[in-house]
Amino acid sequence: MTRAQGRSRRVKVTVEAIVDITDENALEQAALADIEATQFSVSDDSDLSVTQVRQDEQDHIRGDAVAAVQWFIDAGGVIDDRAGIEFVEATESVVEIDELGVPLSAWPRFAELLPLCTCGADDCNHCSGFQLTPRTAAALWTAAGILADHAYDDVLEHGDEPVDDTGAWSVFDEFPRITWRQNAVWRRQAARSFDDLSDDLAAGHWPQPRCPAEEMALHLILRSAEAAVDDDWATFAEGYADLPEHEDDHDWDVLTETLFQDLDILTLFSKQLDGIENPDADQNRELGIGDYRPQAWFERFLNMEPRDPRRPFRR
C-alpha cells in the first residue's frame, strides 16, 4: 500500500484520565485565581471587554466543580512539538461518573428549569399563553444533541467536499443547496448552532435562533423531535417518563410560530426563488428578507443578544 506523494499520515491520540474531587471549594478558588491571572484578549469588533470575558469565565465555574476541572485541562498539551509532527487540533470533555465509571445522567432538570403552571386563572401570564413544557424541551434537547453529533461527523468524514444528494451525508444535505459548497470551517460553525440551541434549553431558556444558521438548525431540530416523538422513542428515553405531562406538550405548530421571527430561510429551498438570499436581489428587497448568503449565516440578528464568541466546539 502506498500513499500519495506529499500526503501526511494523521494520528488520533486518545487519553483518558479519572480525577477525584477531594475539596470542591479549594478547587473552585484555585480555578478562579487561575482565571484572574490568565491573560485574555478580544478582537477590535468584539462586543465584550477583557474584563467581561474574564468575568464570564469565572461565572461559568462558580458552583460547578466539573467545569472547574475542565478549566485546568490543556488538551493541546498532551503531546509536545517534536520533529516530524505538526499539531492539528485538540478537544476535551469532562463528565461526572459514579464509582463504577458509569457517567451520571446528563439530562437537564427540565421539570425544575421549566416549571408548569396549572392554576387556570384567566389573568395568569403562564396559563393564558403557550408554555414550553419539560417534555417538549426534553425532546428538542435530545434531537439537538443527536443532530449536532451527526453534523460534526459530517465535518470529520467529508471535510471540504461538496455536499451531494447520494445519501452519504447525515445533516448537511438537509441544508439549502446554496450551502453545499461551503468548507469544513463553515460546517463546523453550523454544527455548533445545534449545540447553542441545546445549551439554551439546558439553561431553561426558549431556543430562539439568533442567526440564520440557528434558524436552519431549529427547523431540523423541530422536524427530528416531532418524528421521534411520533415513533414513541421518547416514552422509553431516560428520565422522559418522569417528566410531568401538559396539554401544551409537543405542539410543533405553535412552537414554530413562537420561536421563529419569520420563516424567510425556508425560501432558500425554492428553485423558483433562486438568488433570493442576496440582499441586493429585487425579490429579497420586496420581501424584506435580509442577507441569507452563506457567509452571513453566523451574523446575529440585530434584535438578539450575541453569543459568547469564545464558546467551545464540542469537537
pLDDT score at 25: 93
pLDDT score at 95: 83
Q: How far is CA 76 from CA 13, 67, 80, 86, 91, in A?
A: 11, 18, 8, 12, 8
Taking 60 as the threshold, does the pLDDT of residue 78 lie above it? yes
Q: pLDDT tens digits for 83-102?
A: 888 888 887 888 888 777 76
Picking from 246, 242, 252, the residue whose alpha carbon sits closest to that of residue 221 is 252
- The angle at the Cα of 194, spanning 277 to 252, to the nearest 5 degrees, equals 85
Read off the C-alpha cell for 149.
Answer: 453529533
CA distance 315 to 310: 14
Task: Give yes or no for a contact between 34 and 71, defined as CB atoms under 8 angstroms apart.
Answer: yes
CA distance 111 to 123: 23
Read off the C-alpha cell for 47.
Answer: 462586543
Q: Provide the Cα torsion 50, 53, 58, 59; round to 10°.
A: 140
Task: Give yes or no for a contact between 151 and 194, defined as CB atoms under 8 angstroms apart.
Answer: yes
pLDDT score at 131: 93
Phi/psi of residue 268, nearest 5 degrees: -70, -15
CA distance 79 to 258: 48
Residue 314 binned pLDDT confidence (cut-offs 50, 70, 90): confident
CA distance 78 to 86: 13
Read off the C-alpha cell for 52.
Answer: 467581561
Computed from CA positions of residues 203, 208, 210, 216, in that sequence, does the dihedral angle turn out positive or negative?
A: positive
Q: pTM for the whole thing?
A: 0.69
pLDDT score at 236: 52
**Residue of 297 and 312 predicted with greater confidence:** 297
Read off the C-alpha cell for 85.
Answer: 509532527
**Average model confidence (pLDDT) across the chain:** 90
pLDDT score at 42: 82
Taking 80 as the threshold, does the pLDDT of residue 6 lie above it? no
pLDDT score at 237: 61
Radius of gyration of the chain (CA): 22
Residue 125 binned pLDDT confidence (cut-offs 50, 70, 90): confident
Computed from CA positions of residues 118, 120, 122, 127, in that sequence, does the dihedral angle turn out positive or negative?
A: positive
Read off the C-alpha cell for 282.
Answer: 429585487
Lowest mean pLDDT among 105-109, 167-171, 236-240, 247-251: 236-240
pLDDT score at 8: 81
Residue 124 binned pLDDT confidence (cut-offs 50, 70, 90): confident
pLDDT score at 5: 59
Taking 70 as the threshold, does the pLDDT of residue 235 lie above it? no
